[in-house]
A and B are shown apart, each in its own frame.
Chain A
Amino acid sequence: MVHLPLSKNLFEHTGEAMTGINQYMTSDHRHCDELFAATESAADNEDWETAATQTEIFLTAMENHFTKEEEVLFPVFEETTGMQQGPTQVMRHEHQQMRDLFSQLRYALEATDQDEFLSITETLLILMQQHNMKEEGILYSMSDEQFGDDTASTVLEKMQKIGD
């Protein structure tokens, strides 16, 4: 008979209160999702003026989020866990992939090319979501587990200063 870990954490997988870093950064993800939806809707309605404004708001929020991670959270994570080439490297790599799409999105916006714009947002959405899933499921929860209370609150404070 195959052994599957049925009892291991079976009932701890959902609805648990998220704490500290995970909670803060997850709500940051949801905020970016909302901005993404507004950006995409504007382009879908061919309202290019709104699309231009929304794209900038969305991309600024994304860049702020990346800055929080790359400049505050990841270095502390690497130092605390001793994992320099692990999860954070993969996350930085995916940030770069998203930044490539951001520049393509700006080109499409300038050209008011709806098909191209929506095609890029389609790709970006999935890239973003699978990235968020890995961060929320693994990286943020590990941070909450492994950082001491003091480190966690310093990290949170520094990230909050960067803005949304």
Chain B
Amino acid sequence: MQQAGLSLEQAPPLSVPVRFFLTAPIFGLISALLLIIIGPDALVSRWTPAMLAITHGIVLGFLTSIMFGAMQQMLPVLAGAVFPRPKLSAGILHVLWVLGVLLLLAGFLSGQRALLIGSLGLLGGSVMLFGLLCGYALVNASSRNQSVPGMQFAVLSLIITVVLGVVLGLGHSGDLALLRPLGTNLHLMWGLIGWVALLIASVAWQVVPMFQITKPYPAPLIRWLAPSLFTLLIIHSLLSIFALQGHGDKIGWISLQLMIEITCSLLLTAFAVYTLLLQKNRLRKIRDRHISYWQLASVCLLLSVACWWLSNLADSAQLKEQVRLLSAVLFLAGFVMAVVTAMLYKIVAFLVCFHLQGINTQRTMAGEPGVTLLNMKTVIPEQRAKLQYTIYLLALVSIALATLWPGALSQLAGALWLLHFGVMAINLSRALFSYKNALGTEKEQLR
């Protein structure tokens, strides 16, 4: 056990997570603009270059950026796992990542090989860097929080996702054979279930009981969800590869894969159902938007799993593709987006207050004039948070319906998402302005 783990330096400087949080909505805006410009064509299939640019803009540029920022903030607090040289490593990671995502989007849209190859190097490099930083921090962690094992599996899944992504990207650039649909399906499965869902579940073990004062999740669920899902994904991947190569008894493998898919679905369903049950019996009874986001997220996860299975009943290949797209949209724009938006608002408002209080104490102790203290609802006023929630609901409904009627609704959905990310960008920037204002007129760097 490393005893120096818990020190004043434990919480990273505000600029570490915040740089990721501020650039994230910009990628959201870019993706929404693409949907407006390209319109219904983008949603026709998973394979259009525009669809690839939009989904990667959201998943990498928006969601993963926020997850990078949040993990650098949370790991020190959760596990006493401190990142080495937090400001420098966050700076390098951020620049590599943002450039990588921008080049990838440009590469998809233009089809230019140099852009794609450049982005693959940058994205691969930054994910490896992130993995190394997390690995270093966790090896030297001073406590073993119940969220940590799940986060480790999530980071490993991210690495696998990106390796598969690089192989697929080299297929797009013409350097390798394009492994469709097998490679894409594995890439999606590792990215959505391995990276995103495992990370959200691991964070949920802590934040759902904490923020809403509920009972803890059942211990077996906490203990087994991440290792089971990870193992199932590994077996599923190996079976897919063997089946493609024509080895062995194909029917047997297909039924085994089906059983794995059923088990994965049951695990995700259990997570969603328990989240709803815990929240229903929570001690904290006040009206709170944070809880609405989490409830919405859980319902969307259940609907997403249901749509995935319902798609098998579709009588045409096109309808099947549309219902699968709906399942993916409910997962990303519903489940993941709701949790991430809720967490982002809480974390940013809290960090601004927390850092101001810290500076205030330091200054008062040094005999200097203190700073204006803020509370969370002054940092992000209720009215603006409410506006965000309303726009988000409209945007979610419109994008879900647009998967079924792309011709009529794609551009409306794009416009509502543009509004969603616009309001978010403004709210977050104003939160940070309030921080700077509270510090006074002196030139004070973001600590």
Co-complex (A, B): yes
**What residues make up the interface of A, taking CB atoms closer than 8 Å to B?**
2-6, 8-15, 33-34, 36-37, 40-41, 44, 81, 83, 86-87, 89-90, 93, 96-97, 100, 104, 115-116, 118-120, 122-123, 125-127, 129-130, 133-134, 137-139, 141-142, 145
B227 at the binding interface (Cβ < 8 Å): yes
Contacts of B80 on A, CB cut-off 8 Å? 134, 137-138
Contacts of B222 on A, CB cut-off 8 Å? 13-15
Residue on B with the closest CB to A81?
A: B3
Contacts of B350 on A, CB cut-off 8 Å? 123, 126-127
Contacts of A137 on B, CB cut-off 8 Å? 78-80, 143-145
Give complex CA distance A40, B10 in Å: 30
Contact between chains at B143 and A86 (CB < 8 Å): no
Contact between chains at A15 and B219 (CB < 8 Å): yes
B146 at the binding interface (Cβ < 8 Å): yes
Residue on B with the closest CB to A124?
A: B375
Contact between chains at A14 and B5 (CB < 8 Å): no
B134 at the binding interface (Cβ < 8 Å): yes
Residue on A with the closest CB to B9?
A: A90
Give complex CA distance A94, B423 in Å: 33
- In the complex, identify which listed stretch (B31-39, B88-96, B283-291, B391-399) lies at the interface while the others stay far away: B283-291
Residue on A with the closest CB to B286?
A: A44
B430 at the binding interface (Cβ < 8 Å): no
Task: Say what secondary structure dominates the interface of chain B.
Answer: helix
**What residues make up the interface of B, taking CB atoms closer than 8 Å to A?**
1, 3-8, 10, 77-80, 128, 131-132, 134-135, 138-139, 142-146, 148-149, 152, 155-156, 159, 206, 210-211, 213, 219-220, 222-223, 227, 283-287, 346, 350, 353-354, 357-358, 361, 373, 375-378, 382
The smallest beta-carbon distance between A48 and chain B, in angstroms, is 15
Give complex CA distance A27, B354 in Å: 25
Total residue contacts A-B, CB cutoff 8 A: 142
**Listed residue (A11, A90, A138) with the most chain B CB atoms within 10 angstroms of its CB:** A138
Contact between chains at B7 and A126 (CB < 8 Å): no
Contacts of A12 on B, CB cut-off 8 Å? 144
Contact between chains at A97 and B357 (CB < 8 Å): yes
Known: A2-B159, A122-B377. A130 touches B213 (CB 8 A): no
Give complex CA distance A162, B145 in Å: 29
Give complex CA distance A6, B144 in Å: 12
Give complex CA distance A160, B230 in Å: 44
Contact between chains at B283 and A37 (CB < 8 Å): yes
The smallest beta-carbon distance between A98 and chain B, in angstroms, is 10
In addition to A40-B286, A90-B10, A122-B375, 11 A-B residue pairs with Cβ atoms within 8 Å of each other are A5-B135, A6-B149, A34-B283, A36-B284, A89-B8, A119-B375, A125-B211, A133-B78, A137-B144, A138-B5, A139-B6
Pairs A–B under 8 Å by Cβ, sample size 18 = A4-B134, A4-B155, A4-B156, A5-B138, A13-B223, A14-B219, A93-B8, A93-B361, A96-B361, A115-B377, A119-B377, A119-B378, A122-B375, A122-B377, A126-B346, A133-B206, A138-B142, A142-B1
Contact between chains at B353 and A36 (CB < 8 Å): no
The smallest beta-carbon distance between B351 and chain A, in angstroms, is 10
Give complex CA distance A14, B206 in Å: 12
The smallest beta-carbon distance between B446 and chain A, in angstroms, is 19
Partner of A13, one of B4, B128, B148, B382: B148
Contact between chains at A130 and B77 (CB < 8 Å): yes
Give complex CA distance A164, B445 in Å: 42
Known: A93-B361, A100-B357. A126 touches B145 (CB 8 A): no
The smallest beta-carbon distance between B244 and chain A, in angstroms, is 24
Partner of A97, one of B135, B144, B285, B361: B361
10 closest pairs, A vs B, by CB?
A119-B377, A15-B219, A137-B143, A87-B6, A2-B131, A37-B283, A44-B286, A129-B210, A14-B146, A119-B375
The smallest beta-carbon distance between B293 and chain A, in angstroms, is 15
Contacts of A118 on B, CB cut-off 8 Å? 286, 377
Residue on B with the closest CB to A41?
A: B285
Partner of B373, one of A2, A15, A86, A100: A100
Contacts of B77 on A, CB cut-off 8 Å? 130, 133-134
The smallest beta-carbon distance between A29 and chain B, in angstroms, is 11
Contact between chains at A127 and B354 (CB < 8 Å): yes
Contacts of A14 on B, CB cut-off 8 Å? 146, 219, 222-223
Give complex CA distance A139, B353 in Å: 24
Give complex CA distance A126, B346 in Å: 9
Contacts of A81 on B, CB cut-off 8 Å? 3
Give complex CA distance A20, B221 in Å: 26
Contacts of B142 on A, CB cut-off 8 Å? 138
Partner of B223, one of A2, A15, A89, A125: A15
The smallest beta-carbon distance between B151 and chain A, in angstroms, is 10
Partner of B375, one of A86, A120, A141: A120
Partner of A2, one of B5, B128, B358: B128
Contact between chains at B131 and A4 (CB < 8 Å): yes
Contacts of A89 on B, CB cut-off 8 Å? 8
Known: A123-B353, A123-B375. A13 touches B3 (CB 8 A): no
Contact between chains at B145 and A13 (CB < 8 Å): yes
Partner of A138, one of B138, B143, B146: B143
Give complex CA distance A124, B373 in Å: 13
Contact between chains at B210 and A133 (CB < 8 Å): yes
Partner of B4, one of A8, A36, A86, A97: A86
Contacts of A142 on B, CB cut-off 8 Å? 1, 3
